[in-house]
A and B are shown apart, each in its own frame.
Chain A
């Protein structure tokens, strides 16, 4: 079946530095790519999403880039803050479902 690979599984960055999380998808028909943030014990919440007709989208310190040819997309967080510590999930549509990555635990070091 279709899958989404997410790397790295854990990312530790110094507060104020940038963080980048990458995902690769297998279904060339995928057209919607959301990113969710999940704090410990809480529900996942959408932080940014992108559709296949757009190459990049930015919202304050968060940006997502999409490379349809290579079938990968990335989450970029600039000027990281302690509240950015969480698990981040990427996903991609396939056969009208969302296929989820395994998650990246982002640790912000003070």
Chain B
């Protein structure tokens, strides 16, 4: 299951805290994505990035922030402005925006 990794696997956050989820890929992919998945639901796009130093908001970007300083890395920060952050977060990468997306194993975030 190499190629794209996420850490940590489980994360607990107190209300009012910011937390950062890590996503790294060694596939030399240009495009990277962050999705949120709630129980029994589909995937909702938070942010995506086509190239280094560039990223775009997805459907549910409010309360989240990202950076893309390196091709391999696309960290997601869940800020205190995100009122209901408990969810499963999936990172993905692809060689381009209309090609197969490869997913990381996910981070399960719980707000205490």
A is bound by B: yes
Chain B contributes a number of interface residues (CB within 8 A of A) equal to: 20
- Interface size class, chain A: 10 to 19
Q: How far is the CB of B91 from chain A (nearest CB, A)?
A: 9
Q: Which residues in window 34-49 of A have CB below 8 A to B?
A: 34, 42-46, 49
Do the beta carbons of B98 and A31 come within 8 Å of each other?
yes
Do the beta carbons of A98 and B101 come within 8 Å of each other?
yes
Contact bitstring B30-43, A, C-beta under 8 A = 1, else 0: 00000000000111
10 pairs, CB–CB < 8 Å, chain A vs chain B = A32-B99, A34-B100, A43-B103, A44-B43, A89-B43, A97-B45, A98-B101, A100-B44, A101-B42, A102-B42
**B-binding residues in A (CB < 8 A):** 1, 31-32, 34, 42-46, 49, 89, 93, 96-98, 100-103
Closest 8 CB pairs of A and B: A43-B103, A96-B97, A102-B42, A32-B98, A100-B43, A100-B42, A103-B42, A93-B98
